[in-house]
């Protein structure tokens, strides 16, 4: 340990030098990025040309000699008991090399009693639930053989609608208490929570460090206090992840060793799950992910498709590829749960929040879907009384998976609309209301910057901007919302950096690129530390043979893996100094600024570039390794809300009151993510978060036929995703928010960018038409119904 001066705060605002306790073996802390050569500069992706030329190999592109094609038999019923599966006819079909039955199901909630019994789960709880699989020489042969698998189903009554599931005599999804394991992307539900019918809960929540029972009483007291109260019920829909590359895995055995190519956000979680499921040593499983065509939270673990691929490959003694089709992707590999949220805000006339109460349910199919209380408990955490109560509602539909900022877009949709309503009721500007309740320094600056960029002063009260269009049917509205995410990291993140004799370097880290482009910031931090050009750094990721890295979820990747990468580069420099010092006669040779090695030889100062020093090596390379250090000096908070990432978005919309069609014309987004290592790539991710948020706000919804439980829009045509013509002008203000916690000070941006968007759009729609829509998506049907309804201010259902 040693003390050092570290720059802490918002660069260009309140950043100051502070003294911090630094652990041993870390390089000196960087100052603001304008003082750096590579880090913090908009930098094109080092693997960009692979992606634009089609050279980048994704899981379905992997060809192996003798590759077979696997197809999965999913249940055609949403609820059934399986009494038997006969595969012999299927095995005899032309081209078929193996048929297997899934031993037990991964994903979703599990009955405690079933877990105890282990192995086979004889109950189908959602349509599309995997039952068996076939590997054949061609995909068509495999598909044809699926029809020859005979499953003895006892079809049971089902319920796919949460409202129906809550009725007293609804068919039960689970006959007893359940729990659900989480993934690196979140999710999970502990056991021991009351469960009645299809309703499980409550899970009682309060801000960190507060007692839920006390908070419940405090909220009740505030509600009785005679202060201003705003109440509302908000509903959100099921959204499917719909990564453009479906889930998939190719498995190949060599003796007792298994190699898989997986489309995943977590190579190590795939490895561990396969090893556990197949009861083989971890060391015998290798997972490779060169490129992954998007995950958004749904691609952790081996998946049932992955297990089936491995089992088929074993049985067929040949490599097997199982890649889902678009329909299976919608049905069986995760979604963002639906929610109903009843929220109440209590405030004094001065706009100071006195209480926040949130009660409601989340419906994640055959999984635990609650988890939307994050914004309520954290964004206005200074509010003296906050209490949340959440339930899971089970239905016979595919289980949820973590989805980009799990729970937060839902929670923000309710909370931020309620704040908007409160602002109107109190006659306070919505931005000012946040100002009075949210001291987070990042968001404070973000509100200011966003408002300037946006021209927030144009905003009027709802419905007061002049109508546009020949029939006066176009109404314009402006709205805002904000959100939070958390500073998570995985300390089990390791990197190795090798410096070669020619002055080039290699960084090895077991992370994977899900689209965020992690290769590039890895190369940047190493290039910066070593003082060499970016092109001289080779990055190897996406293989479990590399040092263990974090799963790419929770916006942890950059903040977890770039510090050890820089630290390893620093360690490699130390090694280089040690090797070269005797050769140049400078015993004190040590790392200096700009990647230089500095010391004294024969009484004179000498300075070597990395390339000069490496050229003197008498061995092939020097290398350094590092593990992600705990955050520096955890005690030194200095009043900074360092555990939370902010984000403020302002939206401008038009609403065609004749057709109900909403167009988002502009979003201004102000965000912080620690030190933005590569603003160009950060900007890409913010665009993505906003566009997914608009898509969630206006278009996306899993549509089910209640009678049969079937999904009606399991495609990319009627499951509507925003395209290029649906995207507004987007302007971004990106803060440089230094925390002095790690050697790179980086944090993730993937999740915070999507949190406030739907709420900001909804608030802008209210501002345009003066009617509040409290249910997502904001469809023309809902807009027209709301405009036609008597002015009760409640949205149609």
Partner 1 sequence: MVAAMADSDSGGVSRRGFLIQSGTGSAASLLGAASLPAVRSSAQAAPAPAAAPITEIGPGPVPVQLQVNGKTVAARIEPRDTLAHVLREQLGLSGTKIGCDRGACGACTVWVDGIPTPACMTLALDVAGTAGKGGRAARPVTTIEGLSTAQGTLHPVQDAFVAHDALQCGFCTPGMVMSCAALYERKRSQGQLAALSEGEVREAIAGNLCRCGTYPHVVRAMLSTAKGTGNGKNGGSR
Partner 2 sequence: MNAFTWVEVTTAEQAVAQLSAARGGSALLKAGGIDVLDRLKEGLDAPERLIVLRRPTAGSKSTLSEISEIPASRLPDSITRLLPAGNAGDAPQPRDCLRIGALVTLAQIASHPTILRALPALAQAAHAIATPQIRAVATIAGNLLQRPRCWYFRSADFHCRKKGGDECFALDGENEYHAIFDNRTCAAVHPSGAAVALLVLDAIVEIQTASGTRQQRLSAFFVSASQQGGDVKRENRLEPGEVITHLYIPLPSPDERSLYLKSKQKQSFDWPLCEVAISVRRAPSGAGSLLQAARIVVGGVAPIPWRAKAAEAALLRLSKLDIESVRAIAQAASDGARPLAKNGYKVPLCQGVVAQAVMQILSNA
By CB under 8 A, name the one of 30, 253, 268, 291 that touches partner 1: 291
Is residue 212 part of the contact set for partner 1 (CB under 8 A)? no
Q: Which of residues 527-546 bind partner 1 (CB under 8 A)?
A: 534
CB 541 within 8 A of CB 581: no
Is residue 785 part of the contact set for partner 2 (CB under 8 A)? yes
* Residue matched to tokens 């790690």: 742
CB 552 within 8 A of CB 243: no
Reply yes or no: is the peptide bond before residue 202 cis, omega within 30 of 0: yes
Contacts with partner 2 by CB under 8 A: the residue count is 39
By CB under 8 A, name the one of 715, 781, 789, 797 that touches partner 1: 715
Is residue 53 part of the contact set for partner 1 (CB under 8 A)? yes
By CB under 8 A, name the one of 133, 514, 614, 762 that touches partner 1: 514
Longest dimension (CA), the chain: 91
What does the block give as tokens for 73? 């038999």
**Choices 307-315, 652-660, 748-756, 758-766 (CB under 8 A): range interacting with partner 2:** 652-660
By CB under 8 A, name the one of 593, 707, 791, 792 that touches partner 2: 707
> Which residue lies nearer to partner 1 by CB, 292 or 495?
292
Nearest to 418 by CA among 402, 398, 437: 437
Is residue 468 part of the contact set for partner 2 (CB under 8 A)? no
Is residue 797 part of the contact set for partner 2 (CB under 8 A)? no
**CB-neighbour burial class of residue 604 (10 A; exposed 0-12, middle 13-18, buried 19+):** exposed
> Which residue lies nearer to partner 1 by CB, 213 or 716?
716
> Which residue lies nearer to partner 1 by CB, 338 or 722?
722
**Shortest gap between Cβ of 435 and partner 1 (angstroms)?**
29
**CB-neighbour burial class of residue 271 (10 A; exposed 0-12, middle 13-18, buried 19+):** buried
> Which residue lies nearer to partner 1 by CB, 401 or 768?
401
Residue spans of beta strands (DSSP E) within 61-198: 68-74, 80-86, 96-101, 110-111, 123-124, 130-136, 150-155, 178-179, 195-196
| Three-state SS sequence of 416-433 | HHHHHHHHHHHCCCHHHH
Nearest to 647 by CA among 453, 465, 412, 425: 412
Is residue 680 part of the contact set for partner 1 (CB under 8 A)? yes
**Shortest gap between Cβ of 716 and partner 1 (angstroms)?**
4
By CB under 8 A, name the one of 538, 726, 770, 794 that touches partner 2: 726
CA Rg value for the chain: 28
| Residue 505 backbone zone (phi > 0: left; psi -120 to 50: alpha; other: beta) | beta
Contacts of 3 (CB under 8 A, 6+ apart): 19, 20, 21, 22
Alpha-carbon dihedral angle through residues 750, 751, 754, 760, given to the nearest 10 degrees = -130
> Which residue lies nearer to partner 1 by CB, 627 or 720?
720
Is residue 95 part of the contact set for partner 2 (CB under 8 A)? no
> Which residue lies nearer to partner 2 by CB, 143 or 436?
143
> Which residue lies nearer to partner 1 by CB, 318 or 580?
318
By CB under 8 A, name the one of 15, 661, 680, 730 that touches partner 2: 661
Which contiguous run of DSSP H or E holds residue 622? strand 621-627
**Shortest gap between Cβ of 760 and partner 1 (angstroms)?**
16
Q: How far is CA 63 from the centre of its chain?
A: 30
Q: How far is CA 37 from CA 43, 530, 551, 574, 740, in A?
A: 11, 11, 29, 21, 19
**Choices 79-87, 304-312, 535-543, 656-664 (CB under 8 A): range interacting with partner 2:** 656-664
Contacts of 432 (CB under 8 A, 6+ apart): 351, 423
**Choices 52-60, 178-186, 278-286, 458-466 (CB under 8 A): range interacting with partner 1:** 52-60
> Which residue lies nearer to partner 2 by CB, 380 or 699?
699
At residue 339, φ and ψ (nearest 5 deg) are -150, 155
Sheet holding 16-22, edge to edge: 16-22, 2-10, 737-738
What span, in angstroms and rounded, lies between the C-alpha atoms of 561 and 510?
9
Is residue 243 part of the contact set for partner 1 (CB under 8 A)? yes
What does the block give as tokens for 154? 């006892």
**Choices 51-59, 380-388, 395-403, 478-486 (CB under 8 A): range interacting with partner 1:** 51-59
Select the binding partner of residue 681 from partner 1, partner 2, none (C-beta < 5 to 8 A, by kind).
Answer: partner 1
Select the binding partner of residue 606 from partner 2, partner 1, none (C-beta < 5 to 8 A, by kind).
Answer: none
What does the block give as tokens for 79? 């609820």
Contacts with partner 1 by CB under 8 A: the residue count is 58
* Residue matched to tokens 């278009």: 699
Select the binding partner of residue 48 from partner 1, partner 2, none (C-beta < 5 to 8 A, by kind).
Answer: partner 1
Binding mask 138-167 for partner 2 (x = CB under 8 A): --x---------------------------
What does the block give as tokens for 637? 């908070």
By CB under 8 A, name the one of 63, 194, 705, 789 that touches partner 2: 705
Is residue 723 part of the contact set for partner 2 (CB under 8 A)? yes
Select the binding partner of residue 691 from partner 1, partner 2, none (C-beta < 5 to 8 A, by kind).
Answer: partner 1
Select the binding partner of residue 689 from partner 1, partner 2, none (C-beta < 5 to 8 A, by kind).
Answer: partner 1
Is residue 406 part of the contact set for partner 1 (CB under 8 A)? no
By CB under 8 A, name the one of 92, 155, 461, 788 that touches partner 2: 788
Is residue 712 part of the contact set for partner 1 (CB under 8 A)? no
By CB under 8 A, name the one of 590, 601, 721, 784 that touches partner 1: 721
Reply yes or no: is the peptide bond before residue 413 cis, omega within 30 of 0: no
By CB under 8 A, name the one of 244, 471, 615, 634 that touches partner 2: 471
Select the binding partner of residue 453 from partner 1, partner 2, none (C-beta < 5 to 8 A, by kind).
Answer: none
**Choices 206-214, 293-301, 393-401, 779-787 (CB under 8 A): range interacting with partner 2:** 779-787
Contacts of 467 (CB under 8 A, 6+ apart): 473, 474, 475
| Residue 158 backbone zone (phi > 0: left; psi -120 to 50: alpha; other: beta) | beta
Is residue 293 part of the contact set for partner 1 (CB under 8 A)? yes
Select the binding partner of residue 698 from partner 2, partner 1, none (C-beta < 5 to 8 A, by kind).
Answer: partner 2
Is residue 35 part of the contact set for partner 1 (CB under 8 A)? no
What does the block give as tokens for 767? 């501002």
Nearest to 386 by CA among 361, 414, 355: 355
> Which residue lies nearer to partner 1 by CB, 37 or 784?
37
**Choices 225-233, 355-363, 647-655, 688-696 (CB under 8 A): range interacting with partner 1:** 688-696
**Shortest gap between Cβ of 412 and partner 1 (angstroms)?**
18
CB 493 within 8 A of CB 630: no
Helical H runs in 585-671? 610-615
At residue 25, φ and ψ (nearest 5 deg) are 85, 10
* Residue matched to tokens 């002008």: 729
Q: How far is CA 777 from CA 237, 371, 481, 661, 760, in A?
A: 7, 19, 17, 12, 13
**CB-neighbour burial class of residue 6 (10 A; exposed 0-12, middle 13-18, buried 19+):** buried
Task: Give me the residues that bind partner 2 (CB under 8 A), please.
Answer: 76, 140, 470-473, 656-661, 663, 698-699, 703-708, 710, 712-713, 717-718, 720, 722-726, 779-781, 784-785, 787-788
Task: Give me the residues that bind partner 1 (CB under 8 A), please.
Answer: 41-45, 48-58, 60-61, 63, 140, 242-245, 291-294, 296, 325-326, 513-517, 534, 680-681, 683-685, 687-692, 715-717, 721-725, 727, 730
């Amino acid at each position: 340990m040693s003390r050092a001066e570290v720059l802490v705060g918002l660069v260009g605002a309140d950043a100051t030098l502070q003294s911090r306790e630094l652990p041993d073996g870390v390089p000196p802390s960087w100052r603001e990025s304008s003082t750096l050569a590579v880090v913090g500069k908009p930098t094109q992706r080092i693997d960009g040309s692979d992606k634009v030329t089609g050279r980048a190999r994704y899981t379905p592109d992997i060809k192996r000699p003798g590759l077979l094609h696997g197809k999965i038999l999913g249940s055609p019923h949403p609820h059934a008991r399986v009494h038997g599966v006969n595969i012999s006819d299927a095995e005899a079909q032309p081209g078929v090399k193996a048929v297997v039955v899934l031993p037990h199901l991964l994903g979703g909630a599990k009955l405690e009693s079933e877990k105890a019994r282990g192995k086979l789960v004889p109950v189908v709880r959602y349509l599309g639930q995997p039952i068996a699989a076939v590997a054949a020489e061609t995909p068509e042969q495999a598909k044809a053989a699926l029809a020859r698998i005979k499953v003895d189903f006892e079809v049971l009554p089902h319920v796919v609608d949460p409202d129906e599931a809550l009725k007293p005599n609804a068919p039960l999804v689970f006959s007893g208490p359940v729990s659900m394991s989480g993934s690196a992307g979140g999710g999970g539900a502990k056991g021991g929570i009351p469960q009645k019918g299809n309703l499980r809960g409550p899970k009682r929540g309060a801000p960190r460090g507060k007692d839920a029972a006390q908070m419940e009483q405090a909220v009740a007291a505030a509600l009785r206090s005679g202060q201003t109260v705003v109440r509302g019920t908000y509903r959100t829909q099921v959204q499917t992840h719909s990564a453009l590359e479906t889930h998939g895995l190719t498995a190949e055995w060599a003796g007792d060793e298994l190699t898989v190519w997986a489309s995943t956000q977590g190579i190590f979680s795939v490895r561990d799950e396969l090893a556990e499921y197949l009861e083989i040593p971890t060391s015998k499983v290798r997972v490779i992910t060169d490129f992954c065509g998007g995950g958004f939270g749904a691609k952790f673990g081996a998946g049932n498709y992955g297990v089936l691929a491995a089992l088929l490959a074993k049985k067929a003694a040949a490599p097997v590829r199982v890649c889902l089709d678009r329909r299976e992707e919608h049905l069986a590999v995760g979604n963002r749960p639906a929610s109903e949220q009843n929220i109440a805000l209590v405030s004094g006339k001065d706009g100071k929040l006195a209480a926040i109460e949130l009660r409601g349910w989340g419906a994640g199919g055959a999984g635990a879907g609650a988890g939307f209380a994050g914004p309520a408990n954290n964004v206005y955490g200074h509010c003296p009384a906050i209490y949340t109560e959440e339930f899971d509602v089970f239905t016979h539909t595919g289980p949820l998976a973590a989805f980009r900022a799990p729970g937060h877009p839902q929670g923000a949709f309710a909370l931020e609309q309620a704040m908007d309503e409160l602002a109107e009721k109190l006659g306070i500007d919505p931005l000012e209301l946040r100002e009075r309740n949210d001291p987070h320094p990042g968001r404070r600056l973000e509100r200011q910057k966003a408002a300037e960029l946006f021209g927030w002063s144009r905003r009027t009260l709802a419905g007061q901007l002049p109508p546009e269009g020949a029939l006066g049917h176009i109404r314009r509205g402006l709205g805002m919302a904000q959100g939070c995410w958390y500073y998570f990291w995985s300390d089990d993140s390791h990197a190795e950096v090798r410096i070669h004799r020619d002055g080039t370097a290699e960084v090895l880290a077991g992370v994977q690129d899900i689209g965020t482009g992690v290769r590039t910031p890895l190369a940047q931090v190493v290039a910066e530390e070593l003082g060499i050009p970016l092109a001289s750094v080779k990055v190897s990721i996406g293989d479990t043979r590399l040092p263990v890295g974090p799963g790419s979820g929770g916006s942890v990747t950059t903040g977890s893996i770039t510090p050890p990468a820089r630290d390893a580069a620093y360690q490699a420099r130390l090694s280089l100094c040690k090797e070269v010092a005797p050769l140049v006669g400078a015993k004190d040779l040590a790392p200096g600024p700009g990647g230089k090695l500095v010391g004294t030889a024969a009484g004179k100062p000498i300075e070597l570039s990395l390339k000069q020093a490496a050229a003197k090596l008498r061995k092939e390379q020097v290398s350094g390794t590092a593990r992600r250090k705990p955050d520096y000096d955890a005690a030194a908070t200095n009043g900074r809300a360092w555990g939370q990432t902010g984000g403020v978005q302002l939206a401008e919309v038009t609403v065609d009151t004749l057709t109900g069609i909403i167009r988002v014309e502009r979003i201004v987004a102000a965000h912080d993510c620690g030190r933005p290592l590569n603003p160009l790539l950060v900007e890409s991710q913010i665009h993505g978060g906003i566009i997914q948020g608009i898509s969630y706000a206006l278009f996306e919804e899993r549509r089910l036929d209640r009678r049969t439980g079937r999904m009606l829009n399991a495609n990319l045509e009627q499951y509507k995703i925003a395209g290029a013509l649906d995207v507004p002008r987007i302007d971004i203000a990106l803060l440089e928010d230094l925390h002095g916690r790690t050697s790179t000070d980086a944090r993730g941006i993937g999740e915070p960018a999507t949190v406030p968007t739907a709420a900001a759009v909804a608030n802008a729609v209210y501002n345009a038409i003066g009617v509040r829509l409290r249910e997502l998506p904001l469809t023309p049907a809902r807009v027209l119904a709301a405009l036609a309804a008597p002015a009760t201010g409640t949205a149609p259902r």
